[in-house]
Structure 1
Amino acid sequence: MKREGVRTRSQTKKQKASTSSQGNSLPDNPFEEEFGSLSDSGQGVWTELSKEVASNLAGTVVSIASFDDGNNKLFFACTGIITVNTPKTTSFLTSLSLVRSIDDNSKIFHDMRIEVRLPDNKIESGWLQFYDLKHNVAVINIIRYHSLQVACLDHQQQIESQSKVVAVGRCFNSGKLMATAGMLTDNPRGAYREELAISTCEITMTGVGGPLVDFNGNFVGMNFYDEKETPFLPRNTILELLSQFSKIIPWWYVLHTYL
């Protein structure tokens, strides 16, 4: 089975250049490949979203990249969601694929350099704060950035099967925000791990870690990648993980406080 619905690096390297839906030549970097419509294009799903929803997405969706500090080589780039903005740190929910070994899924690269491109296009250095191997989830932190907007992940709206949804992503190099629409569907024949759900949204690797929302902007889950549809981790599971993370006191905080 593919790693959590995310294409492997060897498969990515075999990807050939093609043409996007806007007619633009796709870059060799699969993590910069656009999908759907750009937020400033006035086309596609953006014409169906309210100004408030579009503004919230633009303000809470970031791009995150990891680099091999030894040779400054890009390792992985994906999308992230702003979830916390405390007096000391700002946190982003994303995919653990950002720092996860392709050859050994249990191996996490803690020594990689992580950079976050914010909605205003500024880039800040980050670090891996929490992660969950089973669900391929990571929380990246930066030193608090005051002007950031926090996404609302917890809501009472029930999202039914066959509901229309929107997958959102942001490119790291260009900072472009994009989105595409689809519908929630079933997980046929257990094609993916049982904790994952599926939408028909067609995204690229750029959208990994990005939010899946309904047309009112309500958070549905976090997207992974596959060629035919988009597996995603549902909201309830994510909220449970974030709750568990919040109870963990980092070792450096303990040292700073008590020593």
Structure 2
Amino acid sequence: MKTIYRIKSLGYPMPPPLVLEFNGELVHQFEDRFGELLAWRGYPFGAPPNDTFGCVWGKLEKQVVTNISRSVVSLASINRDHSRSFACTGLLIEWQGRAKRKCTVVLTSASLVRGRDNEDNVDKNLRIEVFLPPNQRCDGTLELYNMQYNIAIVSIKNRFNAIRPADILCKEMEVSPEKVVAIGRDTIHGLLMGTTGQVKSNNKDCKLNCKELQCSTCNITKAGIGGPLIGFDGSFVGMNFYDGSDVTPFLPRLVIFNLLRGVVNSRIPSESGEYPMRILDDFMVGEKYRWPVPEPYWYHGELDVDMDELPKFIGRILN
């Protein structure tokens, strides 16, 4: 009964008969981790399991790792029935505001608040939770969004301590580094996840139709959606997405800069009571972009029968 309740509370479909009893697997879940795991100071559950120990965090300077650990958060959107709708990663960034009144907001994917019945609309009934380990957790408010380019700006209700918000809007994008690191925040305990790769010269392997997307060879999971792609020097390269392919699509920093530069010097919409507001993208025209996320499903290899492998049974021939 506890297992069934947990599955429902996490927003997953119920398993078919026998799949759960025979230890079936839930594919494309938000709890799937990737890359090398990094625990926060005081983590009480021992060293996290790592198949790629030393492949990521040991290659980055200590200051870069510190900045990442204090700026990358996990987010979840919660339905009215208290079940989870979506989970992803976000990046704390500096917001200039009016009269240079800086504040900290979260840059993440608009999939966090996208309506299930109409993907072009925001589900305003969702409650947003923001978590920065080890114990900073609060509600978030959707301030700005753009469904065409799948980005969202979320403000945090409480002031987080000891944070290092990234300044990604200070200037336009420079040349992207060839070697990059995709970052995510684990949805269970808030472990940092990191995996390295290279920026590809094209996006032909990407399943998403956004023409401005680039791709890296980093291998992430759904939990890494909305997380930052950075260079080895800590520079922000773009925001990651997940389409179930062998590459990781990301929205380049320049595109994000162009979307936000018209509003970054304004106060956040909740201060005026008019929120959330759509970020205009009139400078970018073309086809409508779709951002499907692989749906979770139950799988068990022993119960997956190939019809071609079934033996043929020939009955008795009656004269």
What is the RMSD of the two structures over their aligned residues, measured on CA atoms?
2.9
* Distance of 2:239 and 2:269 partners within structure 1: 28
Structure 1 CA distance for aligned equivalents of residues 232 and 111 of structure 2: 27
Counterpart-to-counterpart distance in 1, 2:272 and 2:156: 19
CA contact (8 A) 1:31 1:206 kept: yes
Q: Gapped runs of 5+ residues in structure 2?
A: 1-11, 16-24, 40-49, 275-319
By how many angstroms is 1:142 displaced?
1.1
Q: What aligned pairs does 1:2-81 form with structure 2 within 5 A after superposition? A: 30-40=29-39, 43-68=54-79, 70-81=80-91
Shift of 1:14: 10
- Identity over the aligned pairs, expressed in percent? 38
Is the contact between residue 165 and residue 215 of structure 1 (CA under 8 Å) also seen in structure 2?
yes
What's the counterpart of residue 189 of structure 2? 174
The match for 2:204 among 185, 188, 195 is 188
Tell me, in whole angstroms, the C-alpha distance in 2 between the residues paired with 1:35 and 1:234.
Answer: 21
Higher helix proportion: 1
Q: Quote the Cα distance in structure 1 between the aligned partners of 2:174 and 2:269.
A: 37
Q: CA deviation at 1:50?
A: 1.1
The worse-fitting range, judged by mean Cα deviation, of 95-104 and 80-89 is 80-89
Deviations 1:100-148 (A, max 9, x none): 0244221211221111001433211111010011100000101333432
Decide whether the 8 Å contact of 1:60 with 1:119 is kept in 2: no
- Measured in 1, the distance between the counterparts of 2:38 and 2:83 equals 29
Counterpart contact for 1:117–1:172, Cα < 8 Å? no
Aligned amino acid, residue 213 of structure 1:
I
User: Match of 1:104?
Assistant: 118
1:132 aligns with 2:143: no
**CA distance in structure 1 between the aligned counterparts of 2:161 and 2:14, rounded to whole angstroms:** 41
- SS class of match (1:44): coil
1:214 aligns with 2:224: no
Q: Residue 229 of structure 1 corresponds to which residue in structure 2? A: 247
Q: Deviations over 1:169-203 (max 9, x none)?
A: 00233111110001100112785311111011100
Q: C-alpha distance in 2, partners of 1:255/1:232? A: 32
Choose 1 or 2 for highest CA Rg: 2
Aligned residues: 233
Q: 1:215 to 1:57 in 2, by over 3 A?
A: same
AA in 1 matched with 2:140: G
TM-score (norm 2): 0.66
Question: With structure 1 as the length reference, what TM-score do the two structures score?
Answer: 0.80
Write 1 or 2 for the structure with the bigger share of strand. Answer: 1
Task: Tell me, yes or no, if the aligned pair for 2:109 and 2:225 is still in contact at 8 Å.
Answer: yes
C-alpha change, 1:200 and 1:253, in structure 2 (3 Å) is same
Is residue 74–residue 90 contact of structure 2 (8 Å, CA) maintained in 1? yes
Q: Secondary structure at the match of 1:165?
A: strand
